[in-house]
């Protein structure tokens, strides 16, 4: 089976029409669905949070059959993810796309579970600590995208489960969790 890094590619990755945006509606719907699944799978597996539409992205090129996605196709597939709430455009020009293989709410739940498991309730952490600290090592939170993390924390704050403190710089923003 073909692999991209340690990611196992599905069989249809070598099916040339998979890389051409299909004009017939039913066919395209199925094609878009397959691409959405594959993008989410790949990003989850490779811990990729942002796809730059103009930058090289391994999944959008198949060297074996010499096919690659057109700009229009990339935008179509990512837009489909956006409309489902599984991605967000980071700019108006649709150049960078934030991939949410966990929705913000799911990330918030993961953070709370982490806080409970490590007994960090009522203690203060910096946001940077959550992303790269010793405590989060080995969890999904380790190395996660700062934008997504901030968004998840804000969601928790709205629900009264966390309080964010502004620090002197972006690096030392702090957060206090409450059970």
For another protein, the binding residue among 3, 4, 5, 38 (CB under 8 A) is 38
Task: Kindly state the smallest distance separating residue 44's Cβ from another protein, in Å.
Answer: 13
Tokens of 165: 């403190």
Q: Does 15 bind another protein (CB under 8 A)?
A: yes
User: How far is residue 157's CA from residue 166's CA, in Å, rounded to a whole number?
Assistant: 13
- Nearest one of 89, 2, 77, 6 to 40, comparing CA atoms: 77
The interface region with another protein, picked from 4-12, 90-98, 152-160, 168-176 by CB under 8 A, is: 4-12
Task: Kindly state the smallest distance separating residue 34's Cβ from another protein, in Å.
Answer: 6
Task: Kindly state the smallest distance separating residue 42's Cβ from another protein, in Å.
Answer: 12
Tokens of 116: 């409970």
User: How far is residue 78's CA from residue 87's CA, in Å, rounded to a whole number?
Assistant: 7
Are the C-beta atoms of 171 and 113 separated by less than 8 Å? Answer: no
Query: How many other CB atoms are found less than 10 A from the CB of residue 157?
Result: 15
Q: Does 85 bind another protein (CB under 8 A)?
A: no
Q: Return residues touching another protein (CB under 8 A).
A: 8, 10-12, 14-17, 19-20, 22-24, 26-27, 30-31, 33-34, 37-38, 64, 66-67
């Amino acid at each position: 089976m073909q692999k991209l890094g340690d990611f196992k590619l599905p069989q249809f990755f070598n099916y040339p029409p998979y890389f051409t945006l299909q004009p017939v509606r039913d066919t395209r719907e199925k094609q878009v669905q397959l691409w959405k699944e594959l993008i989410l799978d790949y990003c989850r597996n490779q811990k990729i949070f942002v796809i730059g539409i103009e930058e090289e992205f391994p999944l959008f090129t198949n060297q074996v059959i010499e096919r690659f996605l057109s700009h229009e196709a990339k935008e179509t597939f990512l837009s489909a993810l956006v409309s489902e709430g599984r991605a967000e455009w980071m700019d108006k020009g649709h150049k960078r796309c934030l991939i949410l293989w966990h929705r913000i709410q799911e990330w918030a739940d993961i953070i709370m579970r982490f806080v409970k498991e490590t007994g960090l309730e009522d203690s203060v952490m910096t946001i940077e600590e959550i992303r790269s600290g010793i405590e989060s090592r080995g969890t999904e939170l380790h190395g996660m995208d700062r934008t997504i993390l901030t968004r998840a924390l804000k969601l928790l704050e709205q629900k009264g489960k966390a309080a964010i403190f502004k620090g002197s710089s972006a690096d030392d923003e702090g957060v206090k969790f409450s059970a």
